[in-house]
Amino acid sequence: MEKIRISKLMAERGMCSRREADAFIERGWVRVDGEVVSELGSKAYPNQKITLEKQARQKQTQRVTIILHKPVGYVSGQAEKGYRNAVSLISGVTQYKGGRGGVRFEPGHLRGLAPAGRLDIDSTGMLILTQDGRIARQIVGEDSVIEKEYLVRVSGKLTERGLAMLNFGLTLDGQQLRPAEVSWQNEDQLRFILREGRKRQIRRMCEMVGLKVVGLKRVRIGDIVLGDLPVGQWRYLKEGEHLA
């Protein structure tokens, strides 16, 4: 049995992100089989027990996760080509008054806040931003099976075979896509449920079956729904809310 970096093991077990793991190790907040580990790059066997000290657990509980209704025209990550990024929308002014959940906005909540997944500049709907690496990994980790639901307005003619291909049978960038759930929501709108997130995946899938996407809105990630959250406003993930 080969030893693996402890930070990698911690990320694989969903304890935190690899970056967070390194920070906890540096502070001496990680134990392997009861022994404190404080040297970066330390390794352990996959069957060894890894635990976090109380200080690390407390730090995790202080981290916030934000649900944003991203408008069209904003990029998910770094600002580019004159476009603002989604994080720039987070302030006390844009906090949804119906969704405070007992948490008051503080500027410190912007520190390390990053989008968990993408929502392209031409799309609107739910974007999750978080300081918590565990939540980010649930959504965008390689082994993630969290559902993302979209309402997609399209133009063009979709055949029965085309609809079947959208559900399963398409390949992007040389890789077969995971099975999806695609059905008609109404006469010009499709409902997509995906368990992966390739770049501009839905738009490219639609192009492959002769459709053009006119509008795209993400309405759910896991068990979290966008609901009545207004465009351009945000709320905190509430206590008791979980992705799955």
Predicted local distance difference test score (pLDDT) of residue 71: 97
Q: Does 244 reside within a domain? A: no
Q: Does 243 reside within a domain? A: no
Same domain, 230 and 134: yes
Cβ neighbours for 92, distance < 8 A, ≥ 6 positions apart: 105
pLDDT in tens, 189-228: 999 999 998 889 999 999 999 999 999 999 999 999 999 9
Q: How much is the average pLDDT of 7-22?
A: 85
Query: Which of residues 28, 61, 94 is at a domain's end?
Result: 61
Q: How much is the average pLDDT of 49-63?
A: 81
Q: Does 177 reside within a domain? A: yes
pTM: 0.77
Query: Which of residues 34, 61, 88 is at a domain's end?
Result: 61
Report phi then psi at 98, rounded to 5: -90, 5
Residue 64: what residue type?
V
Predicted local distance difference test score (pLDDT) of residue 209: 97
Q: For residues 156 and 205, what is the distance between their CA atoms, to the nearest angstrom? A: 13
101 pLDDT more than 90: no
Predicted local distance difference test score (pLDDT) of residue 3: 92
Cβ neighbours for 82, distance < 8 A, ≥ 6 positions apart: none
Predicted local distance difference test score (pLDDT) of residue 11: 83
Q: Does 241 reside within a domain? A: no
Same domain, 38 and 84: no
Question: Binning pLDDT at 50, 70 and 90, where does residue 60 land?
Answer: low
Q: How much is the average pLDDT of 125-140?
A: 89
109 pLDDT more than 70: yes
Domain count of the chain? 3
CB 178 within 8 A of CB 192: no
Question: What CATH number did the domain enclosing 122 receive?
Answer: 3.30.70.580
pLDDT in tens, 159-198: 999 999 999 999 999 999 999 999 999 999 999 999 998 8
Angle (CA) 193-197-198 rounded to 5° is 125
Q: In 3D, which of 179, 185, 188, 99 has the Cα closest to residue 147? A: 179
Q: For residues 85 and 89, what is the distance between their CA atoms, to the nearest angstrom? A: 8
Q: Does 169 reside within a domain? A: yes
69 pLDDT more than 90: yes
Q: In 3D, which of 149, 125, 128 has the Cα closest to residue 137? A: 128
Predicted local distance difference test score (pLDDT) of residue 99: 59
CB 114 within 8 A of CB 86: no
142 pLDDT more than 80: no
Q: Residue 10, exposed/middle/buried by CB under 10 A (0-12, 13-18, 19+)? A: buried
Catalytic residue among 33, 120, 188, 223: 120
Q: In 3D, which of 63, 51, 58, 64 has the Cα closest to residue 15? A: 51
Question: Binning pLDDT at 50, 70 and 90, where does residue 18 land?
Answer: confident
Q: For residues 139 and 133, what is the distance between their CA atoms, to the nearest angstrom? A: 10
Q: Does 130 reside within a domain? A: yes
CB atoms < 10 A from the CB of 202, how many? 25
Pull the structure tokens for residue 166.
């959208």
Expressed as residue numbers, the domain containing 217 is 148-221
Question: Binning pLDDT at 50, 70 and 90, where does residue 72 land?
Answer: very high
Q: Does 190 reside within a domain? A: yes
Question: What CATH number did the domain enclosing 169 receive?
Answer: 3.30.70.1560
Angle (CA) 160-161-162 rounded to 5° is 90
Same domain, 108 and 165: no
Report phi then psi at 36, rounded to 5: -65, 135
Same domain, 69 and 137: yes
Q: Is 120 a catalytic residue?
A: yes
Same domain, 75 and 46: no
Residue with tokens 């992966």: 196
Q: Does 197 reside within a domain? A: yes
Predicted local distance difference test score (pLDDT) of residue 102: 61
Question: What CATH number did the domain enclosing 25 receive?
Answer: 3.10.290.10
Alpha helices (runs of H) in 149-230, residue ranges in sequence order: 160-167, 201-208
